[in-house]
């Protein structure tokens, strides 16, 4: 069995373990390459079906093409889509750069707090209705016990400290120093009632693995990842005020793979275009301890 197939099998096993052990399960979908691969793996694991809601935390500052791509796949694949929004922070202009907060505070409010509220069922959530084709506000939404995410250990320093099944406390905070050991395929899936668990099926994948898998499976991705003639493309996607493209001539999946294999970015962080990382000391550990994705 080749390495990609081994990674695929492990990820599918983790997805099925999560589904078997958590009554209320959701999966984060940012429309980025990692979470889209995770979505593809989920459809494989459950024979074309996605048996739990996809969750997108919408800051209202996403690049418009990301939202168009999301809604296109939601309709084409009939995906169970939930959108969480911190409407209070948006209404009170607790935003960056056009509001009254700095970049990290904006992330805490529009991402971390919005995610926490979405998970615990106390926030504003909209669910896509496939009958009328619109997002409708949920009334008395149920909390989630488990949240599947597309974190990879090689992407950024704090993610390398995660487990496949990584608990968050009652406040959705992450205690990096108090995580369960994981031996071979033995995982701890029972945790303190009221807490939630992050599940990371892509933990051992690399950026190159992700693109090789996208090529092998012919997975549709948002076109922001490719150079369209200006000599730039995105390696990591986020909010448009805080995300910058990298210099690259890659116009296809094959050219991205060749670029990564050449070592062009071997000394450049995948998230080098994400300004909040720089403001958090070059990583995301502070934000992620507080519950960031």
pLDDT of residue 159: 57
Contact 84, 124 (CB under 8 A): yes
- Among left, alpha and beta (phi > 0; psi -120 to 50; other), residue 133 is left
Which strands, in side-by-side order, build the sheet including 134-137?
A: 134-137, 124-129, 81-85, 54-57, 25-28, 146-148, 196-199, 165-168
Q: What is the pLDDT of residue 106?
A: 93
> Which token pair is 16?
């099925």
Q: 60-74, 188-202, 252-266 — which is least confidently predicted?
A: 188-202
Given a cut of 90, is residue 287 above it in pLDDT? no
Question: Tell me, what's the pLDDT at 250?
Answer: 97
Distance, in Å, from the CA atom of 292 to the CA atom of 285, rounded to the nearest integer, reads 9
Q: At residue 58, does pLDDT exceed 90? A: yes
Mean pLDDT of 267-285: 64
DSSP-based three-state secondary structure for 204? coil
Tokens standing for residue 126: 């909209």
Is residue 134 classed as helix, strand or coil in its secondary structure? strand
Strands 25-28 and 124-129: unpaired
Instruction: For residues 145 and 194, give the distance between their C-alpha atoms in angstroms, rounded to a whole number.
Output: 8
| Domains of the chain in sequence order | 3-205 (3.40.50.620), 207-277 (no CATH)
Flag the least confident range among 18-27, 51-60, 113-122, 261-270: 261-270
Nearest to 25 by CA among 186, 158, 189: 189
In angstroms, rounded to a whole number, what is the distance separating the alpha carbons of residues 36 and 251? Answer: 19
Share of the chain above pLDDT 70, in %: 86
Instruction: Calculate the average pLDDT of the chain.
Output: 89
Q: Using one digit for the tens of pLDDT, what is the confidence trace for 210-250?
A: 999 999 999 999 999 999 999 999 999 999 999 999 999 99
What's residue 273's pLDDT? 63
At residue 164, the 3 state secondary structure works out as coil
């Amino acid at each position: 069995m080749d390495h990609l197939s081994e990674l695929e099998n492990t990820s599918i096993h983790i997805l099925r373990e999560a589904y078997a052990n958590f009554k209320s399960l959701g999966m984060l979908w940012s429309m980025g390459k990692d979470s889209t691969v995770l979505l593809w793996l989920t459809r494989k694991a459950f024979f074309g079906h996605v048996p739990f809601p996809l969750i997108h935390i919408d800051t209202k500052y996403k690049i418009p093409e990301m939202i168009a791509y999301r809604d296109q796949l939601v309709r084409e694949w009939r995906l169970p889509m939930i959108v969480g929004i911190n409407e209070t922070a948006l209404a009170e202009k607790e935003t960056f750069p056009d509001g009254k907060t700095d970049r990290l505070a904006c992330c805490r409010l529009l991402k971390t707090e919005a995610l926490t509220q979405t998970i615990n069922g106390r926030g504003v959530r909209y669910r896509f209705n496939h009958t009328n084709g619109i997002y409708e506000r949920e009334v008395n939404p149920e909390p989630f016990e488990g949240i599947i995410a597309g974190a990879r250990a090689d992407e950024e320093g704090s993610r390398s400290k995660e487990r496949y099944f990584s608990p968050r406390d009652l406040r959705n905070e992450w205690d990096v120093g108090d995580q369960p050991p994981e031996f071979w395929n033995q995982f701890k899936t029972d945790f303190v009632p009221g807490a939630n668990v992050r599940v990371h099926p892509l933990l051992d994948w690399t950026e190159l693995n992700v693109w090789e898998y996208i090529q092998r499976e012919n997975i549709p991705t948002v076109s922001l990842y490719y150079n369209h003639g200006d000599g730039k493309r995105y390696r990591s996607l986020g909010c448009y005020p805080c995300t910058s493209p990298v210099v690259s001539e890659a116009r296809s999946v094959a050219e991205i793979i060749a670029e990564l294999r050449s070592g062009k970015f071997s000394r450049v962080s995948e998230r080098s275009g994400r300004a909040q990382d720089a403001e958090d000391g070059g990583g995301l550990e502070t934000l992620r301890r507080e519950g960031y994705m």
